[in-house]
Amino acid sequence: MIGVAVLGSTGSIGLSTLDVLGRHPERFQVVALTANRNAELLAEQCRCYRPAVAAMADPAAARRLQSLLAGMSGAPEVLAGIEGLEQVAALPQAPYVMAAIVGAAGLRPSLAAARAGKRVLLANKEALVMAGALFMDAVAESGAELLPIDSEHNAIFQCLPTGFRAGLAQVGVAQILLTASGGPFRDWSVEQIAAVTPEQACAHPVWSMGRKISVDSATLMNKGLEVIEACWLFGTGPERVTVVVHPQSTVHSLVQYKDGSVLAEMGNPDMRTPIAHALAWPERFDSGVAPLDLVALGRLDFQAPDPGRFPCLRLAFEAARAGDSAPLVLNASNEVAVAAFLEGRVGFPGIARVVEETLASSPAQAVVGQDLAFLIDLDRRARATAEQLIATGSV
């Protein structure tokens, strides 16, 4: 039995992970579950999966969880706060950790899992965007196994030879081709995009996801964050990463080799496939996903992204090329801008403007070799700048 800790178990990736784990009870034991505020759902999951530990980032929610579980035989130990999440990520009984907290809030727990030498199933892409050097150093030093959960990066991982960490050029890779569904506004005009509502932005045509990543998918910032994530995961620069819009989301990404060969990973768009892949790797087992029916699908379309209508993708490529603190500032200002958009405080095009203005007013800082406290302080300052831009209505 392999012990698994699921960080962010009440979210979209968390639920898919529990679904896959539930299909293999002879192989996995759920050791710990975490959430932020959703004590009701976490209590339900505790009754179903009977973990030894449950943690909530919000201390009041942790108290509510404790009272919801009162009287349960074999109730889990309840931990609270960011330290509780870090403790869960490093539990010796859980050699596998699903890192599925959304946003910068996932950095400390994801890093704790990496430092503890776990098999880290990384969905929390923001951790790599914010602290790629620190995170990859922690993986190398502890001997952790880093397996990507983003369907695109999982696809690339599957299409690369095992020795890819020696360098992509050494293994003959010419380009990484990241596919993007294009989001719900792929074919909308600039005028239509200007009037997008939060409900429209959260209704993704193909993938069912949390609200933050749904908005990121609609702005194409999600693809931009994934470009930066790919650079860290596969040890390359952005010049070797190309984004291709593929509305059917059937080809999850591709690797183009120097000899002209292009390897793709395909399947139905369901996150249980990359989750099952990373749990079973290097073996394969059932994920619950229906087999792909190519004849029913009929066709696969590809087109170039339009950075004019979707400036977030351009901003992310610029941040990736600039390096230093730019990706961290991009991520922090985007999180602030997306939250403001969901609360009706900025319009949809305002998200890109907040990010662009925050980047322009944040002096570049070298981040390689810096510690977590330094990065968290930079993140805090970028958030304050973004909040001020929104509050003064200057975007």
Ligand X SMILES: NC(=O)c1ccc[n+]([C@@H]2O[C@H](COP(=O)([O-])OP(=O)(O)OC[C@H]3O[C@@H](n4cnc5c(N)ncnc54)[C@H](OP(=O)(O)O)[C@@H]3O)[C@@H](O)[C@H]2O)c1
Q: Which residue has the tokens 């005028």?
A: 191
Strands of 173-180's sheet, edge to edge? 241-245, 173-180, 251-257, 262-266
Q: Which residue has the tokens 């950075």?
A: 307
CA nearest neighbour of 230 among 312, 164, 306: 164
Positions 197 through 216 that interact with ligand X (CB under 6 A):
207, 209-210, 212-213
From candidates 123, 329, 338, 339, binder to ligand X by CB under 6 A: 123
Q: Does 11 bind ligand X (CB under 6 A)?
A: yes
CB of 24 to ligand X, least distance (A): 20
CA nearest neighbour of 55 among 13, 109, 1, 114: 109
Q: Does 228 bind ligand X (CB under 6 A)?
A: no
Q: Does 124 bind ligand X (CB under 6 A)?
A: yes
Residues listed for the chain = 395
CB of 178 to ligand X, least distance (A): 13
Alpha-carbon span 323 to 23, nearest angstrom? 42
Q: Does 196 bind ligand X (CB under 6 A)?
A: no
Q: Does 218 bind ligand X (CB under 6 A)?
A: no
Q: Is 210 annotated as a binding residue?
A: yes
From candidates 3, 5, 8, 119, binder to ligand X by CB under 6 A: 8
Q: Does 271 bind ligand X (CB under 6 A)?
A: yes
Surface-to-core class of residue 36, CB atoms within 10 Å of its CB (0-12 exposed, 13-18 middle, 19+ buried): middle
Number of residues that bind ligand X (CB under 6 A): 27
CB of 40 to ligand X, least distance (A): 10
Q: Does 12 bind ligand X (CB under 6 A)?
A: yes
Q: Give the range of 7-15, 233-241, 323-331, 361-369 binding ligand X by CB under 6 A.
A: 7-15
Q: What is the dihedral of CA 116, 120, 123, 129, to 10 degrees?
A: 60
What distances in angstroms separate CA 213 from CA 22, 76, 98, 125, 225, one per listed residue?
A: 25, 30, 17, 10, 10
Alpha-carbon span 204 to 211, nearest angstrom? 10
Residue closer to ligand X by CB (options 209, 355) is 209
Alpha-carbon span 256 to 51, nearest angstrom? 43
* Dihedral sign from CA coordinates of 223, 117, 76, 74: positive
From candidates 27, 29, 36, 206, binder to ligand X by CB under 6 A: 36
Which residue type sits at 8? G
Q: Is 73 annotated as a binding residue?
A: no
Which residue type sits at 169? A
From candidates 69, 146, 148, 150, binder to ligand X by CB under 6 A: 150
* Residue 164 · residue 173 · CB < 8 Å: yes
Q: Does 3 bind ligand X (CB under 6 A)?
A: no
Residue closer to ligand X by CB (options 226, 357) is 226
For residue 348, the tally of other CB atoms under 10 A from its CB is 20
Residue closer to ligand X by CB (options 27, 37) is 37
Task: List binding-site positions for Mn(2+).
Answer: 150, 152, 226
Task: List binding-site positions for 1-deoxy-D-xylulose 5-phosphate.
Answer: 125, 151-152, 181, 204, 217, 222-223, 226
Task: List binding-site positions.
Answer: 10-13, 37-38, 124-126, 150-152, 181, 204, 210, 217, 222-223, 226
Q: Which residues sit at the interface with ligand X, rule CB under 6 A?
A: 8-14, 35-38, 57, 100-102, 105, 123-126, 150, 207, 209-210, 212-213, 271
